[in-house]
Structure 1
């Protein structure tokens, strides 16, 4: 009987359950994709670059799991609110509350299992696409990568089944404590709006104050640093909830009292509808605004981190290649690249020191970054007499950076000596020739830098005993870029798919909240229709009402994103890089849910007219 009741209830509320089902499918797919990318042990072991990405996807999995749990908890409460009267009727005919609770848990379990089956299939496809995009960008092979990874399937299923059981059990316990008369009257209970002008004014002042502090903390994040990282999210969140609690009811009441606006069409009815449901909407809308900021910000942050991999590497490395003992193959390949600058240096080494030629260094001082002014400069010429203290030769700071630029692989392995050419020629030791090359655009020749690095593997094996090309990397700009780009790419995909999942769940929650009250509005729209109001006016009223509900959190959420990207100002050089893309993605998903909500709402309340 319990199974029959559950299936009957699901058929009756299939539209509402479909919303939960859709959000769950996307969550399962993204969750599985993150786990597959972070748990493929053999694949990670064979690809050192992927080691940099693994923690990023693990962090994404944790964030998504927390958000998904609250999504399940929230949507289950909505499902329960839709079924209260039905469950009350079950109680009247003698069904025990424990049995009713089992019906609700069974319904949730069936939805979760269905979402797992479809979500895992979608997750396999998503993992294949994301891994292909990621590995193509990083030039990493697919060896040992398993798209269908059993541990990821197992942990995904375990997490969602446990989360579903916990959330449904909590709501079943709440259901058991609710009197039957309250369940039966759930669809006729009005949501009263309590007017407290003093409290409203206080909440508004505090909301504006907190939001102002939050925005200022974000704007001056580069100066505030860690203080801002704590202050900004706390005060912005508090200000958002206070403003929605205080200002939203006031704005709608002001509109309702505007006679000029309310005398047009059935605007008075529309404003009354909004005013009627404010007490339950305001907290939801505040949460939606924060989720919009998180989701759109996650997508924008992903783009910015990926772009910063190119900007930061150019700031750290002024020269695109430092070739040791370049042979004919390296010289020929380098000749195909339009170079802005090319210099050669010679270094000798013995058991104790690295020796540089003073005249050679002064003739072509390399470009270095002055970390006090953050400007690219050339060091001043080296003096003839340089003191030695405690076996350390005293040279200007910029020349220390210059020697690391010239000799990135060996500079830190031994102490150095800068000597005149005559003395250098008398020194016995292994000599290394180093060629520095620089182009106008490092990113335009990535494949050629990679080819040069592969050619340098043999040189490193000869020059540095113990060097293994399979496990060790050449010390070069391209090698460091590859590691940074791997981490940035992982962050990009994490941000993009987390943002996508957040946006979908957020819009599903808002849609679910609006549609959960649709059944109660059928009588109101039916009464207007009987009074002679045209169907077109009723449809327009629904569109405006839902548009206002979607508009409030959407506008404030986008404001949070526009200001909130300053959060990364002391980490990234261009935190607003391609922000417009994330805004367009948000508008497409949010707008799609708005039109779908309007369609479903009209279908529910106007179906008999």
Structure 2
């Protein structure tokens, strides 16, 4: 008897290979991605930053695998209901059916696990080399098999298969034979128009779009509101696809000049009667497509913009910031001695004041002497401000600007200053647009808030006015930045110089007994390694998750076409028998599939347009200030995805037409 069940299970998989083969193929890819990410997360050669990012990816893929495999399993079960009902009628009890389903689940689980782990082990080394190249870490040769990753993959996907099997058994056990026989034909009643649901969906969508636009001016606010906006857009998408699509189709049906044409009549009526069950699938495809576009475009933007980011963040190979308008006595001699052994080593220095300022409504920039009086609602308008002497500005930019005593050059680090005045410790200056702007002081440029720069003609008078406030805060007036250039030293030599310089500088402070000096020391090479590790991991994660989500959208589209093909087979057969020509059938099928297929893509494109401001603001907080880079990456990603989407359309349309023509 057991051999009979095994033959039945194998034969069922063969008979339903149109459904099972794509299911197992995507399951293999999902398991392979999970194994690779888990292996990379536990690979000590990638460093702590990359391992942490890969660990987050493992959690995302695990959640995705549960949702995705359960969702696609529902398509398989829908097509099998009539078969299970027939088994029941012919004398097999539900226990026998449970055995057949159990063996089918076992076979598919073994195929997914063997294929996924095998493919994962095969590609693991290649992915390690790719990530190592992206983040710039040292390559380690040799083949590596992660036993822990194998165990985790077996545990996760084995547990998912077990729970899927139990849910299928419960579903079959609770259904009556007549319900199973008619299960594939359920949902053919005309859905009712739900105006309230459509209005609520439009309101949620409008709310999400509005939050994206309104919060795009402030990075902290954008980060907090992003997830709320995403939830609103997801809810709005589901509601509009469910209720709004039905309302639109009924409006088209009322348009007699449009509806009473063979092509439109068949496509509109066909979509209308099944839109209730199609809407969720279309909304899923739309959400997955939007996720793919956002993830890939943003991670590519971070990666391609990382070089310029590092250039602006670190003006020198080594950056040293010392509190005080003048460095300690003897420091410049110490620095010159340190650079004697460095070919081409040199440094530039400039003095600036570091202040907190409030960008007030109406356009004035006011330096704050006391942060205690700032209202919580005004925190988003804070600007960390660098105050520079006019001579320093001219030296850095090569300009020959002149200012009156009551004038100041004012600009923001990433945009123009549109205000008219700036107040600095009781003195009001008329704001003047500078001839050139620059990102002064990498430490200030790294602030999540948009920083500001004020260039004043009376810098010494400003320090005198600020001195009392500085004494109360226990810091020295002004700050000196040293941008140290290490000439022709390679990355390893620069890192070695930084470590040596740090130790020597600390020892020199102790020897000179100037323990009160406050300083900050940064290395472009070492910090760039962390930046590339972070953004390289982001890029790898983005592409990996983007491919998974794309695969999920493709599989949902494929199953949707198969399911609808079997549902429409009898309907088109009847239409051909009553006189509908072969060409008319093909045109009607083309119109219906075209509408259903590209509706999610169009909606995803609209989502991307409205999501652009808030995502760009979040990237701004991650120090990506090149908006054009994000625009180009978004447009290219959408075009590539659209081409791929069109190819999938062409392939699945053939499958649908083949089914209804059988």
Same fold per superposition (TM over 0.5): yes
1:142 counterpart = 2:139: yes
Matched residue SS, 2:190: coil
Please report how far the alpha carbon of residue 202 of structure 1 lies from its aligned counterpart in structure 2 after TM superposition.
1.6
Could you tell me which runs of 5 or more consecutive residues in structure 2 were left unpaired when the two chains were aligned.
Answer: 321-334, 351-390, 397-439, 508-520, 621-626
Moved more, 456-465 or 19-28: 456-465
Q: 1:363 to 1:70 in 2, by over 3 A?
A: closer
8 Å contact 1:504–1:589 — kept in the other structure? Answer: no
Q: What residue number does 1:452 align with?
A: 494
**Which residue is 2:642 aligned to?**
587
Q: Indicate the residue corresponding to 2:64 in structure 1.
A: 67
Q: What displacement does 1:449 show? A: 5.2
Is residue 9 from structure 1 mapped to residue 39 from structure 2 by the alignment?
A: no
TM-aligned CA deviation for residue 493 of structure 1: 1.0
Match among 163, 188, 192 for residue 191 of structure 1: 188
- C-alpha separation between the residues in 2 aligned to 1:456 and 1:166? 55
Pick the aligned partner of 1:267 from 264, 268, 272.
Answer: 264
Structure 1 residues 543, 26: closer, same or farther in 2, change over 3 A? farther
Q: Distance in 1 between matches of 2:583 and 2:144?
A: 51
1:535 paired residue number: 582
SS of the aligned residue for 1:142 comes to coil
Q: CA deviation at 1:517?
A: 3.0
Alpha carbons of 1:326 and 1:536: their partners in 2 closer, same or farther (altered >3 Å)? farther
Show CA shifts across 1:99-143 (max 9, x none): 212322321232222122223333234433332222123331223
Aligned 8 A contact 1:503 1:589 in 2:
no
Looking at structure 1, the residues matched to 30 and 192 of structure 2 have their Cα atoms a distance apart, in angstroms, of: 40
State the match for 1:578 in structure 2. 633
In the other structure, the counterpart of 2:657 is 602
Match of 2:79 in 1: 82
Checking the alignment, whether the CA contact within 8 Å between 1:33 and 1:124 is kept in structure 2 is: yes
Q: Residue 153 of structure 1 aligns with which residue?
A: 150
* Aligned equivalents of 2:243, 2:473: Cα separation in 1: 70
Match status 1:477 vs 2:537: no
CA contact 2:298–2:619 (8 Å) conserved in 1:
no
1:155 is displaced (CA, Å) by: 0.9
Deviations 1:177-230 (A, max 9, x none): 00011112234445212324xxx2222222211111100101122344355234
1:476: Cα distance to partner?
Answer: 0.8
> CA 1:249–1:328 in 2, change beyond 3 Å: closer, same or farther?
same
Alpha carbons of 1:390 and 1:178: their partners in 2 closer, same or farther (altered >3 Å)?
closer
Q: Is the 8 A contact 1:38 1:58 kept in 2?
A: yes
What SS does the aligned partner of 1:94 have?
coil
Cα 1:80–1:581, aligned 2, differ >3 Å: closer, same or farther?
same
Structure 1 residue 65 displacement after superposition: 1.3
Does the 8 Å CA contact 2:85/2:180 hold for their aligned counterparts? yes
Structure 1 373/296 Cα, relative in aligned 2: closer, same or farther at 3 Å? closer
- What residue in structure 2 maps to residue 330 of structure 1? 342
User: C-alpha separation between the residues in 1 aligned to 2:264 and 2:279?
Assistant: 21
Q: For residues 471 and 67 of structure 2, what CA distance do their matches in structure 1 show?
A: 63
Unaligned ranges ≥5, structure 1: 45-49, 336-341, 346-360, 407-434, 440-444, 466-473
How far did residue 392 of structure 1 move? Answer: 5.2
Q: CA RMSD in A?
A: 3.5
User: What's the counterpart of residue 36 of structure 2?
Assistant: 33
**Aligned CA distance change for structure 1 residues 393 and 586 (closer, same or farther; 3 Å):** closer
Q: How far apart are residue 605 of structure 1 and its match? A: 1.5
Q: What's the secondary structure of 2:484's corresponding residue?
A: strand
**What SS class does the counterpart of residue 194 from structure 1 fall into?**
coil
Please give the alpha-carbon distance, in whole angstroms, between the structure 1 residues aligned to 2:97 and 2:135. Answer: 54
Tell me the distance in 2 between the aligned counterparts of 1:121 and 1:585: 30
Distance in structure 1 (CA, Å) of the matches to 2:181 and 2:392: 91
Q: Does 1:513 align with 2:560?
A: yes
Number of the residue aligned with 2:165: 168
Secondary structure of the corresponding residue to residue 342 of structure 2? helix
Aligned position for 2:24: 21
Q: 1:459 to 1:549 in 2, by over 3 A?
A: same
Is it true that 1:343 corresponds to 2:348 in the alignment? yes
CA distance in 2, matches of 1:329, 1:139: 27
Instruction: Please name the residue that 1:436 is paired with.
Output: 484
Count residues in correspondence.
532
Residue of structure 2 equivalent to 1:221: 215
User: Alpha carbons of 1:316 and 1:190: their partners in 2 closer, same or farther (altered >3 Å)?
Assistant: closer
Distance in 2 separating the partners of 1:158 and 1:299: 29
Match of 1:43 in 2: 45
Counterpart-to-counterpart distance in 1, 2:258 and 2:545: 41
Aligned ranges for residues 331-410 of structure 1 at < 5 Å? 331-332=343-344, 342-343=347-348, 367-368=440-441, 369=444, 374-375=451-452, 394-395=476-477, 399-400=478-479, 403=480, 405-406=481-482
Conservation of the 8 A alpha-carbon contact between 2:498 and 2:523: no
The equivalent residue for 2:250 is 253
Check whether the contact 1:297–1:561 (CA below 8 A) recurs between aligned residues.
Answer: yes
Q: 2:543 aligns with which of 481, 491, 496?
A: 496
Aligned residues of 1:218 and 1:564 also touching (Cα < 8 A): yes
The CA distance in 2 between the partners of 1:459 and 1:293, in whole Å, is: 48
1:202 aligned residue (172, 176, 196): 196
Which residue of 601, 604, 607 maps to 1:554? 601
Deviates more, 1:492-501 or 1:592-601: 592-601
Shift, 1:313, TM fit? 3.5
User: Secondary structure of the equivalent of 1:24?
Assistant: helix
Deviates more, 1:152-161 or 1:379-388: 379-388
Establish whether residue 285 from structure 1 lines up as the match of residue 282 from structure 2. yes
- Where 1:195 maps in the other structure, the secondary structure is coil
CA drift of 1:152 comes to: 1.2
Aligned-partner SS, 1:475? strand
Question: Could you say if the C-alpha distance between residues 571 and 266 of structure 1 is closer, same or farther in structure 2, counting changes exceeding 3 Å?
Answer: closer
Q: Secondary structure at the match of 2:618?
A: coil
Aligned partners of 1:130 and 1:106: how far apart in 2? 34
Change (3 A) 1:43 1:362: closer
* TM-score of the superposed pair, with normalisation by structure 2: 0.72
Q: Residue 230 of structure 2 aligns with which residue?
A: 233
What SS does the aligned partner of 1:517 have? helix
Distance 1:146 1:486 in 2: 22
> How far apart in 1 are the matches of 2:568 and 2:140?
58
Is contact 1:343–1:364 with CA below 8 Å preserved after alignment? no
